Amino acid sequence: MEKLRPRVLVVSLGGTITMTPIASGGVAPALSVDQLLASVPGLADLDVELETVDFRQLPGASVTFDDVAALTVLVRRSLAAGVHGVVVIQGTDTIEETSYLLDLHHSGPEPVVVTGAMRNAAMAGADGPANLLAAVQTAASPAARDMGCVVVFADEIHAARRVRKTHSTAGSTFRSPNGGPLGYVVEGHPRMLVERLSRTPELRLGGSRPTVALVTVGLDDDGVLLHGLGSRVDGVVVAAFGAGHVPQRMVPALQELVAAVPVVLASRTGAGSVLTGTYGFPGSERDLVARGLIPAGFLDPFKARVLLHVLLAAGTDRDGIHAAFAAAG
Ligand code: ASP
């Protein structure tokens, strides 16, 4: 019997990988998926059947929750129709958030791979073709199954839940400070170093569109941005110092806020978990958790904001929000 060729859907949201120079100066999204695929050396030699969709043509900064919600519907339909894996091309600026959002909506075994480029198609050494090739190889491979949504970039494979954009221009910008990459693409094959990945139970984007604010704490912060915030937003993520600390004089404003909306406590450090039971001073993580803030664990503030958005959109109550962060963080 003839062996079935893996079918991979390649969907574009835009981003630098699709950008070329425009008359008014600078670069902007322009290339279609088919044009991009035609520029990838070695792609035609792969034993893969490619399907393409030009879904959006946006810089990463302008992708919305609604765009990703619509994309999850397309992904789900395509997988149900027999596609083996999906590659999403998009701007790197928001990959750490969109990939996690995709991950929260995908509980199946099929690889959903997000990639992009740091150097646009007109630049010497553009990284888009190499990233796209590695992404397709990953999406088509049984080795990448059961890992949820992953980000493939510079031949590294990162879990959506952990990956961060860590550099504004470097090609190796994507890193997983907590735990490192799940694997690498070696000689065209994904080689996973992690055999099993705990998956977050699938969540569905509900009908409502909550507003979740992200507030980063700074030196001598008096919490002025927090006053009245509870009447304007549906939830707040606080990117606190270190293991989850804020200045003492910020505590009353946080107390007021937590009475109005769910408030999640994450760390602004970029790696590590917030604590829950070590420090006892006013404004410490123990103090804030006792006042009702929800610890984000290892989830960074940006992913915590995505998770809180999804939970609020699904109408989750505070106990449910606590439980979801305990499981995901
Ligand atoms: N500004 C670009 C974007 O996110 C950056 C990139 O794609 O690398 O669309």
Q: Are residues 221 and 177 in the same domain?
A: no
Q: Are residues 185 and 221 in the same domain?
A: no
Last residue of a domain, one of 136, 162, 192: 192
307: left (phi over 0), alpha (psi -120 to 50) or beta: alpha
Q: Are residues 168 and 308 in the same domain?
A: no
The structural domain count of the chain equals: 2
Would residue 205 count as lying in a domain? no
**Residue with CA nearest ligand 1 atom 7:** 91
Q: Are residues 173 and 84 in the same domain?
A: yes
pLDDT (0 to 100) of residue 250: 97
Cβ proximity of 137 and 143 under 8 Å: no
Would residue 200 count as lying in a domain? no
Q: Are residues 262 and 181 in the same domain?
A: no
- Cα–Cα dist 295/231, whole Å: 22
Question: What does pTM read for this prediction?
Answer: 0.96
Q: Which residues contact 43 (CB under 8 A, 6 or more apart)?
A: 37, 50, 132, 133, 136
Would residue 311 count as lying in a domain? yes
Cβ proximity of 15 and 54 under 8 Å: no
Would residue 31 count as lying in a domain? yes
Closest ligand 1 atom to Cα of 94: 4
**Residue 88, beta-bridge partner list:** 11, 114
Collapse the DSSP code of 109 into the 3-class scheme (helix H, G, I; strand E, B; otherwise coil) and give the result: coil
- Cα–Cα dist 180/158, whole Å: 8
Would residue 15 count as lying in a domain? yes
Q: Are residues 83 and 111 in the same domain?
A: yes
Q: Is the CB of 118 under 6 A from ligand 1?
A: yes
Q: Domain of 246?
A: 212-328
Q: Is the CB of 111 under 6 A from ligand 1?
A: no
pLDDT (0 to 100) of residue 63: 98
Q: Are residues 164 and 249 in the same domain?
A: no
Compute mean pLDDT per 10 residues along the chain, 329 residues long, and list them: 84 97 94 96 95 98 96 97 98 98 95 98 95 98 96 98 97 96 97 84 75 98 94 98 98 97 98 97 98 98 97 94 94
Residues annotated as part of the active site: 16
- Chain-centroid distance, C-alpha 226: 26
Q: Is the CB of 262 under 6 A from ligand 1?
A: no
Closest ligand 1 atom to Cα of 93: 4
